[in-house]
Amino acid sequence: MLNWLERQARRIWPGLGELPPDRRLISALDVLGALYLAAASLAGLVWLALASDWQALAREWPLCLALLLLLIPLNRFSIFTLTELRPGMTSSVASSLDGVADWTAALLLGPVGLWFGVLSSFARLAVGLRGEPTGSARWGTLRSELGNLAENTLARMAALQAYAAAGGSFPFPGFSARAVMLALLATLLMFVLQQLLSTPLYFYLAATMKVIDPTIAPRRLFGFVIGSGALLASGTPFAVLAAGLYVEYGLGLLLFFFIGLVLVSYLAHSFSRTALRSQQQSRLMQGLESLGRELLLAPPDEETLLKRVSDHILSSKLHLPGRVEVRLFPDRVVLHQPAMWVESPEPAWEWLRSHPGTHHFDPGKPTPWGDANQNRCTALVSIDDYDTGQMVGGIYHSASTRGYIDRSLFSIYLPALDNLADQVALALRRVQNYARMVSHQRVEQELRVAGDIQGSFLPDKFPEVAGWWLSGVLVSARDTSGDFFDFFTVPDGRVAVVVADVADKGVGAALYMALSRAYLRSQAIENDPDPAKALGALNRRVLSDTSSDLFVTVVYGLVAPNQDEFVYANAGHPPPFVVRADSSLPLEMMPRTGMVVGVMPDSTWEPARVRLSPGDFIVIYSDGLTDAQNDAGEYFGLQRLLTEAEGMRGHSPVDVRRHLIEVVQAFSGTFQEDDITLLVLGKTRER
């Protein structure tokens, strides 16, 4: 049935087919309802014209003029109320007391007095059709005002006819019990006939709502419709009192009554606006609070969080009337509602991109992007990134001022829109922070794996070399290290000792270290283990195979079982030093024998030798040890290292290594800026 009615409506207005499905059903009601009410209005107008006593207007011209003037303030001050059709969805109705003046004129002048209401209906219809920008809105206005016209003519004419048939007379005879009772019964009959006149539309609306929103109970819907009608007619019985005052006391007391009615209308208008403002503010606060909780508890996924924002507005929990669009630039539409609003405010978005902030545009004034903005309040609010302050999106909100919204009431939505923009920005920031956290965790996991792999490069045990003690440690400042030390046996039986430091930190230095270690091992084991030649080969290989600007410092030496000589080459590394067992002998520095590896392709290194006696030991270290700082910014320094090492004469290399690490860590505390590598090579005491 609904589909058939929709097809009939589309024949009358082809533009109906361009609307969204749910809006087509409502607009079909407007189109068909307008035709039905136009026929009823035409019948009522013909009936009214035939029954009108035009001479009564001339006889009572002061009364007619007074009532016409009173219609202006009575129409100006409306009473508003909101009704909740279902949780989170409200509908509004507005009423004025102009019906009191219309019905008073009818009781005093007869049917001709109904022309006052007819004139009001035609005036509202003309203004309404001119102010609506879309076809669907114009059909809605036409249906609404034709309904008022049909009620003001057909229903009221039938009520007046029944009043006259029951013995009522025009003008109203006065405050007799019978006259008052007849007039009140006629008023009640008028209300019943008005509701009967709209009954077909009510049933169509109920059938439509079952399709659009089945959560709305028909009983609640009909209660809202009947209650709205009762509110619209609530002041009409006072017309009986007004008519009696005019008959008994004349125009002066009637004017006094209506001046009081205008005052009551103004106070009721102000009270209803205050109550409505308070109610809307409370709803906005509750809606924003519940949205904040939802966004806080939702998974930190952008799609999920933005859908929560969209669903929250669509479910009317924020109670934003009119048109709302939320966008993320450049072109992502998070929300566009209502569905019947098919156009998109592209010029407004283009203007907002170059004018960030919160903007409010009153009705009747053209907007900066060229909209006439008649009968609408419009707001634009930018959504700014919390970290950078850059605009990442915006909110467009526009509400018609033809209902209960005006520029004063619209102002309560501006803080809510700002808050909504902040919540969207916070949700996006939460997504970004979560993505960063996941990325950091992934990097940390990869670094831990890289650190574990790098740790596997270090010797898991120290080789046993007859006549020598070896002990080393690497304390990384991060998961990966640019330092390394190594022990390995070359083909002639000697043991290679390596300490190196890449001039950088992090993953790049660790990769460079792994490459250098592999190249040095390969050269020493497969070719010539001579320290000077091995460093030369390493330098050439590094420069030919890499384009990095990194370089590495290296101490590479060899010890032979049961020998007392340490043969080495030092490529730019901090000079090692020898601590003699004989306390009368000074410490000996072991100078560099060439520049760092990885800078000049033709660099060469000279070999050097140092002989050790039993109990002597060599300390080889990276600059992370001497450059360690305490809270006061003081460096551990070479001199403190020499003093502490000299105090360990007579101890094993393991004890020396442990002591020096403990001393430097006690000096610098928990903070470590650079990797620390320490290797102690000692000559065993003869037994």
Query: Which of the pair, 505 or 321, is modelled with greater confidence?
Result: 321
Is the separation of the CB atoms in 428 and 392 below 8 Å?
yes
CATH number of 458-683: 3.60.40.10
pLDDT one-digit tens code per residue, 22-33: 677 778 888 888
DSSP state of 587: P
pLDDT band (50, 70, 90) for residue 563: very high
Mean pLDDT check: name the lowest of 65-69, 143-147, 276-280, 680-684.
276-280
From the CA atom positions of the chain, what is the Rg in Å?
47
pTM over 0.85: no
Domain 298-433 fold? Beta-Lactamase (3.30.450)
Instruction: Determine the Cα–Cα distance for residues 569 and 634; give it in Å rounded to an integer.
Output: 31
pLDDT at residue number 687: 44
Query: Across 41-45, 216-220, 271-275, 542-546, which has the greatest mean pLDDT?
Result: 41-45
669: pLDDT confidence band, cut at 50, 70 and 90?
Answer: confident
Structure confidence at residue 1 (pLDDT):
67
- The predicted-structure confidence for 373-409, as pLDDT tens digits, reads as follows 667 888 999 999 888 889 999 999 988 776 666 677 7
* Spatial strand order in the sheet of 483-489: 483-489, 495-502, 552-559, 565-571, 608-611
Q: What is the pLDDT of residue 37?
A: 92
> Tens of pLDDT along 470-521?
888 888 766 555 678 888 888 888 999 999 888 766 666 677 787 788 888 8
Query: Any idea which residue has 């990276």 for tokens?
Result: 622
So where are the chain's domains?
A: 2-284, 298-433, 458-683
Mean pLDDT of the chain: 83
CA angle 665, 669, 673 (to 5 degrees): 80
Residue 280 token pair: 């809307």
Residue-wise pLDDT tens digits, 262-313:
888 778 777 777 777 777 777 778 888 888 888 888 888 888 888 888 888 7
Predicted local confidence at residue 106, as pLDDT: 92
Residue 441 has pLDDT above 50, yes or no: yes
pLDDT band of residue 447 (cuts 50, 70, 90) is: very low
- The letter for the amino acid at 452 is D
Q: How far apart are the first and last CA of the chain?
A: 113
* CA 448 to each of CA 104, 361, 434, 454, 493: distance values in angstroms, whole numbers, following the listed order: 90, 57, 20, 10, 35
285-318 per-residue burial string, b: 16 or more CB within 10 A, e: under 16? eebbeebeebbeeeebebeebbebbbebbeebbb
CB-CB contact of 556 with 568 (8 Å): yes
Report in angstroms the alpha-carbon separations of 391 from 295, 328, 488, 500, 652: 20, 9, 60, 50, 66
Q: Encode pLDDT of 97-119 as tens digits.
A: 788 888 999 999 999 999 988 98
Higher pLDDT, 416 or 136: 416
Yes or no: say if 619 and 656 are a contact pair by the CB < 8 Å rule: yes
Distance separating alpha carbons of residues 625 and 188, to the nearest angstrom? 101
Number of neighbouring beta carbons within 10 Å of residue 21: 10
pLDDT digits (tens, 9 = 90+) for 578-594: 999 998 899 999 999 99
Q: How confident is the model at residue 188 (pLDDT cuts 50, 70, 90)?
A: very high
Whole-number percent of the chain with pLDDT over 70: 85
Within 10 Å of residue 319's Cβ, how many Cβ atoms? 20
Kindly state the percentage of the chain with pLDDT values over 90: 29
- Residue 454: pLDDT band with limits 50, 70, 90: very low
